[in-house]
Amino acid sequence: MAGDSLTSGQYIQHHLQNMVFGKLPEDVVGEELCNGVIVEQAGWQLASCAAEAKAMGFWSYHVDSLGWSVGLALIFFFAFRHVAKNVTTGVPGGFQNFVEMIIDFVNDSVRGSFSGKNDIVAPLALTIFAWVFLMNFMDLIPVDWLPMLAQQIGAAFGADPHHVYFKVVPSTDPNVTFGMALGVFWLMLYYSIKIKGFGGFFGELAFQPFGKLGMPANLVLEGVSLISKPVSLALRLFGNMYAGETIFILIALMYGGSLLIGTFGGLLQLGWAIFHILIITLQAFIFMTLTIVYLDMAHTDH
């Protein structure tokens, strides 16, 4: 794809655009939202460009992000379930040993950061770490392989290949990262109210750190601190993975140049991929650790 008729800017935009399924409103029929493409009908359909995706509004779906997120979650579930059903007490096999190492690592993280008692925290931490790591790991697949396959499948069904978009790294989609962060945020609120009661939870927001006389300032400070937790959780993961994906795309552009530039691009890609292994693991660890810490704060007094 890097060497086709797309310009460098179009190539980058194409790789950063999601496959969006949504409802085009009636008022855009007959308009030229995409370059040279007239909208012929409204209703539910795949967007042909970013302008059509924008016109579909909030209630649209990123098919690629949702598909890969669910698919990777199923891979994690069935792989760990297979090990759990076939676990042996003797010398473990290679994959069982690998899974046990991950579980021990997560358990150590929970013991070190969570002081309360809640049986859901360790399984939740394990799920977050494995799921986020698998989503991040998709960034190590060469950027053209799966999008080109999607274009060929789309062309077989009569679609214009240039209007077939396919992102394969769910964690580069802010909808995915904010969805996970809001799930953690909901658990924070639930356990804060369950453990402390509504009065105790509101008291932390209203009376800290300046006491009862500083209630307005307390609410502002604690409210900002509370809201910033899911926002920072989502944006940290999204920002790091989006930047990493963009660098891979920029390196892929070098393959469309001369042999020397393409060879240099291959070396850069190898070096960045090796370094990126650390990044994708670190981001999964950070998301897991912050989740544990936030739930620990929900279980303890101010």
Would you please indicate which residues are annotated as catalytic (active-site) residues? 232, 236, 240
Q: How far lies 179's CA from each of 106, 131, 148, 176, 199, in Å?
A: 22, 13, 28, 5, 28
Residue type, 68: W
Angle, alpha carbons 245-248-249 (nearest 5°): 90
CB atoms near residue 199 (< 10 Å): 10
For 278, the 3-state DSSP assignment is helix
Q: Are 21 and 35 in contact (CB under 8 A)?
A: no
Cβ contacts of residue 24 below 8 Å, gap of 6+? 39, 41, 42, 43, 45, 52, 55, 56
Residue found under tokens 């080109």: 148
With both helix axes pointing from N to C terminus, report the angle between 8-16 and 215-253 in degrees, rounded to the nearest 10.
130
Q: Are 34 and 49 in contact (CB under 8 A)?
A: yes
Q: How far lies 100's CA from each of 62, 88, 222, 278, 283, in Å?
A: 34, 11, 39, 21, 21
| H or E element at residue 22 | strand 20-24
Q: Label the pairing between strands 20-24 and 61-62.
A: antiparallel
Residue found under tokens 């997560």: 106
Q: How far lies 202's CA from each of 17, 32, 293, in Å?
A: 42, 52, 20
